[in-house]
Chain A
């Protein structure tokens, strides 16, 4: 399982753009919002937290279809399915690799991009924390969506249609953490609920994703 994780990480780094692409997309989305709503700093400060979360969510979406699609094309997914490690563990390793190559860099980049949007000083810590807790759930849900659409030729658009509604609770709780954090209110409840979604997704979604993969490999 660790070998698989390392393999996916190496592939992501050597294939080019594994780390960079999502972060660059994130940067472009945040700056586009600034262009779109205008350069008024007071307005940007109010929406900065939400924009960072939505931008990170969209950047996660960008690389989802590659989780299983490339492995299916060259046949390594069939090998993985017949290998001694259970398919659930394969899903978990692949979602983990996806998180390490998109979720984690996005979390690290978010505070830097917060400067562009005039994020209030109290917000930096909470945006990073909400992303750190929330992005694993995004990768896991995304792996499930990718497993559903792996058999389709043009699954990319359908994948976003399927996955985005599933992202809603994660986004709502993360946004609530950031909002309360900036307004100096207690953040424990939404933060715990966000962590609950992540751990619940970690526990259950590998089973759903591998069920979908088995159907697609039939």
Chain B
């Protein structure tokens, strides 16, 4: 069984149909464990008080916002190189989900920043680059919607995704250069002794797992919808050809 078998829409549909309910259920489970544990059964931070608990939404949303773009990049590359339609449709399906995650990260950050930093928004490098990522998502989604022919749209958005990725990384480092940061360092990194304290860490892992699973479930649902829409379109075309 090779990964490339999913390039066949029929196999993709057959394989994802039984998997989807499990992924959705696991996503719901992990999210509720992470969020309920995080919100109600962790102590308040001694300086930040209860506001610290927004970390269970903010950090996973921010992680998934970037990961969704990376997934779109990989899917676009696969489409450009191997011309598998499922891949292009998956990239299309992931974009609005990533857009919402980016908006969530920005909003929760603003809500947390107001009491803690004393301002809703600062032009900190991280905030700035996330804002730019948000604009990239908007442009990508808008380009998909503007072009009628699905294959042309897939090609053009893939090229945009590749070029956009380069410029998104450039913007990240340009923003670092341009202004000093107010945002704290990474909450989770493998190479550091000090991360988030353990009490907060384990529910955070659940929340992250929940967000990953939600993303997978949503992308699967949306890709399946796209495939069905394509089939419907093809059927309608055939019907019209037969009647003509």
Residues of A within 8 A of B (CB): 144, 148-149, 151-152, 155, 158, 161-162, 164-166, 168-169, 172-173, 175-176, 190, 193, 197, 204-205, 208, 211-212, 215-216, 218
Among A162, A175, A212, which residue has its beta carbon within 8 angstroms of that of B139? Answer: A162
- Which of B132, B152, B162, B167 is close to A215, meaning CB atoms less than 8 Å apart? B152
Given contacts A155-B146, A158-B142, contact A168 B171 (CB under 8 A): yes
> What sequence of 0s and 1s flags, for each residue 41-54 of chain B, a beta carbon within 8 Å of any chain A beta carbon?
00000000000000
Complexed CA–CA distance, A148 and B164 (Å): 12
Residue from B166, B170, B177 with most neighbouring chain A CB atoms (10 Å): B170
Q: Are A165 and B146 in contact (CB under 8 A)?
A: no
Q: Mark B159-184, 1 if CB is under 8 A from A, else 0.
A: 11011101100110011011000000
Complex-state Cα separation, A174 to B142, whole angstroms: 28
A residues less than 8 Å from B202 (CB atoms): none
Report the bound CA distance from A164 to B146 in whole Å: 17
Query: Are B178 and A152 neighbours in the complex by a CB distance under 8 Å?
Result: no
Cβ-defined contact, A152 with B146, below 8 A: yes
Asked if A151 contacts B147 (CB within 8 A), the reply is: yes
Across-interface contacts of B138 in A (CB, < 8 A): 161
Q: How near does chain B come to A168, taking the closest CB pair, in angstroms?
A: 5
Do B177 and A165 touch (CB < 8 A)? no
With a cutoff of 8 Å between Cβ atoms, the chain B residues found around residue A212 in the complex are 155-156, 159
Give the distance in Å from the alpha carbon of A196 to the alpha carbon of B90 in the complex: 34
Q: Kindly provide the distance from the CB of B16 to the nearest chain A CB, expressed in whole angstroms.
A: 29
> A172 touching B174 by the CB < 8 A rule?
yes
- Minimum C-beta distance from A157 to chain B (A): 9
Knowing A161-B138, A211-B159, A215-B156, the reply to whether A172 touches B178 (Cβ < 8 A) is: yes
> B174 CB to closest chain A CB, in angstroms?
4
Question: Measured between alpha carbons, how far is A124 from B156 in the docked complex, in Å?
Answer: 40
Alpha-carbon distance between A150 and B186 when the two chains are bound, in angstroms = 41
CA distance A175 to B177 in the complex (A): 11
Q: In the complex, which of the residues A169, A173, A197, A216 contacts B156, with contact meaning CB atoms closer than 8 Å?
A: A216
What is the bound-complex CA distance between A172 and B177, given in angstroms?
Answer: 9
Q: A166 contacts B164, CB within 8 Å? A: yes
Q: In this complex, what residue of B is CB-closest to A196?
A: B170
Does any Cβ of A come within 8 Å of B29's Cβ? no
Q: How far is the CA of A193 from the CA of B170 in the complex (A)?
A: 10
Which residues on A sit within 8 Å (CB–CB) of B130?
none
Closest chain A residue to B175, Cβ basis: A172
- Are the C-beta atoms of A165 and B167 separated by less than 8 Å? yes
A169, A204, A211 interface centre (most CB from chain B within 10 Å):
A169
Chain A CB within 8 A of B136 CB:
yes
Which of A152, A158, A215, A218 has the most CB atoms of chain B within a 10 A radius of its CB?
Answer: A215
CB distance from B142 to the nearest CB of A (A): 6
Taking a contact as CB atoms under 8 Å apart, the answer to whether B132 and A168 are in contact is: yes
Asked if B143 lies at the interface with its beta carbon under 8 angstroms from chain A, I say yes
When the two chains form their complex, are residues A176 and B135 in contact, meaning their CB atoms are under 8 A apart?
no
- Cα A168 to Cα B178 in complex, Å, equals 11
Return 6 A-B CB contacts under 8 Å, by A number: A149-B146, A152-B146, A168-B132, A172-B171, A173-B177, A176-B177
Docked CA distance A211–B79 (Å): 14
> What 4 A-B pairs have minimum CB-CB distances, sorted nearest first?
A172-B174, A165-B135, A169-B170, A169-B174
A165 touches B159 (CB 8 A): no
Q: How far is the CA of A152 from the CA of B132 in the complex (A)?
A: 24
- A residues near B156, Cβ cutoff 8 Å: 148, 212, 215-216
CB <8 Å contact, A166 and B167: yes
A165 and B139 in contact (CB under 8 A), knowing A172-B175, A173-B177, A197-B170? yes
Q: Which residues of A contact B135 (CB under 8 A)?
A: 161, 164-165
**A158 x B146 contact (CB < 8 A):** yes
Q: In the bound complex, how far is the Cα of B171 from the Cα of A162, in angstroms?
A: 15
| A161 near B178: Cβ-Cβ < 8 Å | no
Chain B residue contacts of A158, Cβ below 8 A: 139, 142-143, 146
Contacting A at CB under 8 A, from B126-159, are 132, 135-136, 138-139, 142-143, 146-147, 152, 155-156, 159
Assembled-state Cα–Cα distance A147/B167 (Å):
17
Q: A162, B143: Cβ atoms under 8 Å?
A: yes
